[in-house]
Amino acid sequence: MHITKLVILGRDGILNEYREGHVTAPEEWHPVPGALEAVARINHAGWHTVVATNQSGIGRGMIDMSAVNAVHAHMYQQLQVQGGRIDAVFFCPHTPEEDCDCRKPKPGLMLDIGRRYGVDLAGVPMVGDTARDLIAAQAAGCEPHLVLSGRAAALGPEQVQALLRQVPSARAHTSLGAFADFLLQRDNHADSTVGGLS
């Protein structure tokens, strides 16, 4: 049986530089240095990459679907230049006040991804830059990974440790590139040993 190798990524702060205001147009979407190359490396190793992102700007009326689609078309184009791809973007359009099931830290987006791809989320890496992402990953049964870009870049070492203590199974990486190094090294090790995780 073929098993889909899947990685779930947050968007803002992981792929593109985090903005206090929402990304409302393609020209406001600026890649985190090295992030798109990291996605390409993950893809070339046989992994599918899917984005799971909270986009409450839609629910607040700050951005409409045509603008969201334009931003993502720009993201896909920038990835293509680097030889990478995102298979799909799953997003929550709701505001926090709506108390939906799909807004992280709730696991709804990830559960939807699992159903769509027909995969067991246990062991599926999920990469984010906030405690909310890690908690959502854990709640969905994913393997939580923190990258110290985006919002996490402002944290000191003690704050990072405090954040990781909220989700003890989480691992921290300096960047999406460092996460890619970890993932691909573990992949190689698993290929050469029986059941091996490094």
Q: What is the pLDDT of residues 60-79, one digit of tens each?
A: 999 999 999 999 999 999 99
| 32 DSSP assignment | P
Does residue 131 have a pLDDT over 60? yes
Range of the domain at 74: 6-192
Average pLDDT, the chain: 92
Rounded to 5°, the CA angle 168-99-152 comes to 40
Q: What is the pLDDT of residues 13-38, one digit of tens each?
A: 999 999 888 899 999 999 999 999 99
Residue 143: inside a domain, yes or no? yes
Q: Are 37 and 80 in contact (CB under 8 A)?
A: no
Specify the CATH number for the domain of residue 78: 3.40.50.1000
143-147, strands of its sheet edge to edge: 88-92, 48-54, 6-9, 125-128, 143-147, 171-173
Kindly give the pairing relationship between strand 88-92 and strand 48-54.
Answer: parallel
Query: What element of type H or E holds 110?
Result: helix 108-117
pLDDT value of position 194: 43
Residue 13: inside a domain, yes or no? yes
Residue 198: inside a domain, yes or no? no
pLDDT value of position 198: 29
Token pair recorded at residue 160:
């990072």
End-to-end CA distance of the chain: 24
The total domain count for the chain is: 1
Residue 82: inside a domain, yes or no? yes
More confident residue, 20 or 195: 20
pLDDT value of position 21: 81
Does residue 195 have a pLDDT over 50? no
- Compute the radius of gyration of the chain from its Cα atoms: 16
Strands (E), the chain: 6-9, 48-54, 88-92, 125-128, 143-147, 171-173
Residue 197: inside a domain, yes or no? no
Residue 1: inside a domain, yes or no? no
